[in-house]
Structure 1
Amino acid sequence: MTDNSTELETTGSSTTPDVDDGSVERVDFRVPGWVRRGGTTSWMMIGMLIALAVLIGLIAATRDITGPLAIGVFLAIVFVPIVNWLEEHGIGRALGAGIVLVGLVVVIGGAGLVTAEALGSQSDVLKENLDAAVEEVKTIVEDLPISDAAVDEVDSTASDAGPVVRDGVATAVAGAVSTAAGLITGLILGAMVLYYLLKDGPMLTRRWVDAKADRADRDATERIVNKALQDVQGYFGGKTALALVNGVSIAIGMYFLGVPGALAIGVVNVIGAYIPYIGAFFGGAFAVLMALGEGGIGLAVAAFALVMVAQLVLENLLEPKLLGSSLNLHPLTILLATTLGGMAAGMVGLILAAPVVAIGVDLKKELTAVGFFDDDDG
Structure 2
Amino acid sequence: MKILVYSVLLLGLSMSSCSSDEKNTTLNQTPIQVTVNQSGNNSEGAYASASGKLVAKNSVNVSTRMMGYITGMKAEVGQNVRAGQLLVSINSTDIQAKGGQANAQISQAQASYNIAKKDYDRFSNLFKNQSASQKELDDMRARYEMAQAGLQAAQAMKSEVNSQYRYTNITAPISGVITEKYAEQGDMASPGMPLLTIESPSALQAQVLVSEQNITLIKQGMPVKITLKSNNEEVAGTVGEISRSSANTGGQYMVKVNVSNSANLLSGMFVNVQFPFKNTGKTNQDFQEGVMIPKSALVEKGQLTGVYTISSNNTAILRWVKTGKSFGDQVEILSGLNAKEPYIVSAQGKLFNGAKVTK
Q: Would the TM-score normalized by the shorter structure come out above 0.5?
A: no
TM-score (normalised: structure 1): 0.22
Which has a greater percent of strand? 2
TM-score (norm 2): 0.23
Compare the two structures and name the one with the higher helix fraction: 1
Which of these two proteins has the greater Rg computed from alpha carbons?
A: 2
